[in-house]
Amino acid sequence: MSTINPSLNLTKPLTAEQVAANNEIDGKQKLQQEDFFALLSQQLAYQDPFKPVENTEMIAQMASFTTAEGISTMGTEFAGMKEVLSSSQALQASSLVGKKVLIPSNTGFLAESGGIDASINTTTGAYNSMVTVENSDGVVVRSISLGDIGAGNKRFSWDGLNNDGERLPEDTYTLKANGMVNGEGEELVVANYAHVESVSLGGGRANVHLNLKGLGGIELSDAIEVAENK
């Protein structure tokens, strides 16, 4: 019975030279196009003259190899295309730093100065519409009357003051809207504008993310609109 050499360290990692040698061996073990045609030529040279390979069988073999090679080449080309698209997307996203984007959320961030810009979207319009602002504890701190609004997007701003005209602290706030639609009270969809502080590129392995001031990050594809940072 054979025994294991006690001096052999099975947990020792391969050196860089050993890894390179293994990769070279793996590369040599892969059949290339010229290897296929060499094998095909040998097959034809040593075939039984009384039972030659059928043309349909030969064509099938060639088609099979061509298809496999084409799929491999296509995969490489798609990988390169994805790299180009990711780089283009990252370049476009980097131009958004310092600007505002409209995001599908009714939560906005109030900085030390300025207010929060937002937009109401309705397909039918609404009348007697009202916006309420809630702090992070869910307490209503401001009510804003917008009156009648038409169908489409209605942009509005909150100045960061409460109902008593006092400046509120830096924090996240939730803006909710409701109005009368077809004679009934209805909650309206609100989206907030957020400031883009930076962009996470993802290194080609993940989607590009926009890092928003006070709100975290969203994917670039989730941004609804881009606006000047006024």
pLDDT digits (tens, 9 = 90+) for 146-167: 999 988 888 999 999 999 999 9
Of the candidates 86, 78, 81, which has an alpha carbon nearest to the alpha carbon of residue 199?
86
Q: With CA atoms as reference, report the closest residue to 109 among 21, 61, 175.
A: 175
Amino acid at residue number 123: T
Contact indicator for 90, 209 with CB cutoff of 8 Å: no
Q: Cβ(38)–Cβ(45) under 8 Å?
A: no
CATH level 2 (architecture), domain 100-227: Sandwich (2.60)
Query: How far is the CA of 207 from the CAs of 1, 59, 100, in angstroms?
Result: 57, 43, 19
Query: What residue type is assigned to position 38 of the chain?
Result: A
Q: How many Å apart are CA 106 and CA 113, to the nearest integer?
A: 20
Q: Where are the domains of the chain?
A: 16-94, 100-227
Span 54-90, pLDDT tens digits: 556 656 666 665 565 555 555 555 455 455 445 566 6
Q: How many CB atoms lie within 10 A of CB 36?
A: 17
Interatomic CA distance for residues 56 and 198, integer angstroms: 60
Q: Which alpha helices (H) appear in 95-145, and where do they start and end? A: none
Q: What does the pLDDT profile of the chain (230 residues) look like in tens digits?
A: 444 444 444 455 556 676 666 666 555 555 565 665 666 666 656 555 555 555 566 566 666 655 655 555 555 554 554 554 455 666 666 778 888 989 999 999 999 989 999 999 888 889 899 999 999 999 999 999 999 998 888 899 999 999 999 999 999 999 999 999 888 888 999 999 999 888 877 655 557 788 899 898 888 888 888 877 66
Phi, psi of 81 (to 5 degrees): -65, -40
d(CA 170, CA 147): 28
185, β-bridge pairs: 180
| Gap between the Cα atoms of 108 and 116, Å rounded | 7
Whether the CB-CB separation of 129 and 188 falls below 8 Å is answered with: yes
Residues 6+ apart with CB under 8 A from 155: 117, 118, 119
**Long-range contacts, 180-187 (Cβ 8 Å, 24+):** 180/126, 180/127, 180/128, 180/129, 181/122, 181/124, 181/125, 181/126, 182/124, 186/126
